[in-house]
Chains A and B, each alone.
Chain A
Amino acid sequence: MGPLIPNNLIPLEWNSIIAILIGIVFGFVLEASGFSSSRKLAGVFYGYDFAVLKVFFTAAVVSVIGLYYMDYLGYLDITQLYVHPTYLWGAIIGGAIMGVGFVAGGFCPGTSLCAVAIGKLDAWVYVGGILLGIFMFSELFNFIEPIYDGYFLGNITLMDTFSWNPYWFIFIFSIIAIVAFAFSDFVQKKIKKVFY
């Protein structure tokens, strides 16, 4: 049956409209749960607020369990889902830069736009930095291109690379998530409370 759009259960033309609706809801939920505050986001690195870790870990675990149940029951063909292509060194270097930016600025790109929408000045500066970064990247593109296009491994997943059993992987992944939650609660109790 699913995915709905590739199998023409929803016409392709609805793609952008659905994307906009999901985007609005996503932005609303981000803002409503306080993710437009850079202090909350940076809290995960200083150990006084693990909301980010919990939210994204829970989202990943719940969706992967749900997707595999739907695949098992035949509502969704998991092989038809889009797998983002892996450019190994591009991903590693880009991830490191993004991580530094995350710790230093206290936003990820999505939450920074959320914070821009509610008028936070640090977010304005942050988005300005993003635009500056995009400009620099474009100007240096010829120089960066070998890394950008190189080390291409295809649309691979961990299951393809290590030939793991996905079901066992999901089970172990959820155990890791729960352990991480418990550990983050433990750390949070030890750290001095920060009010923001």
Chain B
Amino acid sequence: MTKKQTAKFLNFRYKILALILVVLAGGLVLLPKYQKNEGIKPEQLLANTISLERYISTDQMAHKLISQDPSFILVDVRDENSYNSYTLPNAINIPLKKLLDDESKAYLNQNQFDVVFFSNDHYYADQAWILCNRLGFKNLRVLKGGLNHWFKTIINPPKPTEDMPEEAYSLYDTRKAASMFFGVVYPDQVQSNEVETPKIAPKKIITVKKKKKVAEGGC
């Protein structure tokens, strides 16, 4: 290319640059569009799913409730009737159908509190967990075993048999104490209505014998 040709080419340089810009911008318009996945990536979702942090045990939950831990929100994902008949203390009701409403999102999509889902088993709670996790909400947990397991372990803990190790006994004691916190009454804890009257001890009459004066000393 001679100098003259180069100069001629450079005369057009702005036009060429402008053309490149238009072609690139037009390319964006013409590119075939595809549906993008909303929320987090599948690999991330899988990693969250197999994470041990996904579940919280009923014992941990009981401990949190008893110690009045303020760091979590309990979310009951069952329908309203079940919620009204029984639920965990301070739980809020977000039925699975209303999970992605704007009103519910205020509770679920935040960074301040842990959210603990529960249902009768952990089946529906897991569904809620997956849906919310997929949308990238943080700090979600599921109560392992749900309310059924809650009843089996905390409200009505099985008494350990004699061939069980000591830990089973201490666990039973803890659970029993927890169940008493949640309002269960055990027969051996019931106090009878009889008012124990303190036995009045018969007055002992002590007769004091007057000592005879003994002649003191004396020489």
Contacts and interface: CB of A to CB of B under 8 A. Distances in A.
B21 interface: yes
Contact of B24 (A65, A177, A178): A65
A143 interface: no
A167 B28 contact: yes
Interface in B1-53: 14, 18, 21-22, 24-26, 28-29, 31
A171 B25 contact: yes
A181 B21 CA distance: 13
A175 B28 CA distance: 13
Contacts of A178: 18, 21-22
Contacts of B21: 61-62, 65, 174, 177-178
A72 interface: yes
Interface residues on A, range: 10 to 19
A148 interface: no
Interface string A171-184: 10111011001000
Contact of A65 (B14, B18, B25): B25
A171 B29 CA distance: 7
A12 interface: no
B22 A68 contact: no
Contact of B28 (A62, A171, A177, A181): A171
B23 to A, nearest CB: 10
A55 to B, nearest CB: 14
Contact of A174 (B14, B25, B31): B25
21 contacts: A62-B21, A65-B21, A65-B24, A65-B28, A69-B24, A69-B28, A72-B31, A167-B29, A168-B29, A170-B25, A170-B29, A171-B22, A171-B25, A171-B26, A171-B28, A174-B22, A174-B25, A175-B25, A178-B18, A178-B22, A181-B14
Interface of B: 14, 18, 21-22, 24-26, 28-29, 31
